Amino acid sequence: MKSVLSRIAYGILFAIPLMLLTYAFAQASPPLDNDLQGEVSQGQDCKSCHPAFYETWEDGLHGQAYSDPAFQKAWHDQGEPVECLGCHVTGYDPATGTWESEGITCERCHNPAPANHPQEPMPVARSADLCGDCHTETYFQWQASVHRQMDLGCETCHDPHGSQLLAENDAGLCASCHKARSSNFSHTQHSQEGLDCADCHMADLGEQVNQAHGNKDHSFFVSLDTCNGCHVYQMHDPVSVHEENPPAENLDSMASIETSSVLAAPKPANPIGFALLAGLVGLAGGVILAPWIERFQNKLDLRNKEDE
Residue 86: inside a domain? no
pLDDT for the residue 11: 65
Q: Is residue 212 part of a domain?
A: yes
Domain presence at residue 64? no
CA 16 to chain centre: 38
Greater confidence (188 vs 5) lies with: 188
Q: Does the N-terminal peptide bond of residue 118 adopt cis geometry, omega within 30 degrees of 0?
A: yes
Nearest to residue 226, comparing CAs of 253, 201, 255, 195?
Answer: 201
What's the rounded Cα separation, in Å, for the pair 47 and 69?
A: 24
- pLDDT tens digits along 221-265: 887 888 888 887 776 665 555 555 555 444 443 443 344 344 444
25: containing domain: 1-30
Give the torsion through C-alpha atoms of 197, 202, 207, 209, to 10 deg.
-150
Task: State the pLDDT at residue 72.
Answer: 92
Do the domain assignments include residue 91? no
Is-contact 211 136, C-beta < 8 A? Answer: yes
Mean pLDDT of 201-216: 68
Report the C-alpha gap between 212 and 269 in whole angstroms.
Answer: 38
**Confidence at residue 227, expressed as pLDDT on a 0 to 100 scale:** 84
**Residues making up the chain, counted from first to last:** 308
Residue 183 lies in a domain: yes
Question: What total of structural domains would you count in the chain?
Answer: 2
Read off the pLDDT of residues 101-151 as tens digits, 9 standing for 90 and up.
999 998 888 888 888 888 888 888 777 888 888 888 888 888 889 988 888
* Residue 204 domain flag: yes
Indicate if 25 and 141 belong to the same structural domain.
no
Residue 88 confidence (pLDDT) above 90: yes
Contacts 24+ apart (CB under 8 A), 240-243: none
Angle between helices 271-307 and 2-27 (to 10 degrees): 130
198 lies in some domain: yes
Question: Across the chain, what does the average pLDDT equal?
Answer: 76
Rounded Cα distance between 2 and 163, Å, is 65
Q: Which residues contact 180 (CB under 8 A, 6 or more apart)?
A: 258
Report if residue 161 sits inside a domain.
yes
Whether 56 shows a pLDDT value over 60: the answer reads yes
Q: Which long-range contacts (CB under 8 A, 24 or more apart) does 192-201 make?
A: 196/169, 196/170, 196/171, 197/170, 197/171, 197/254, 198/170, 198/171, 198/174, 200/226, 200/227, 200/254, 201/174, 201/254
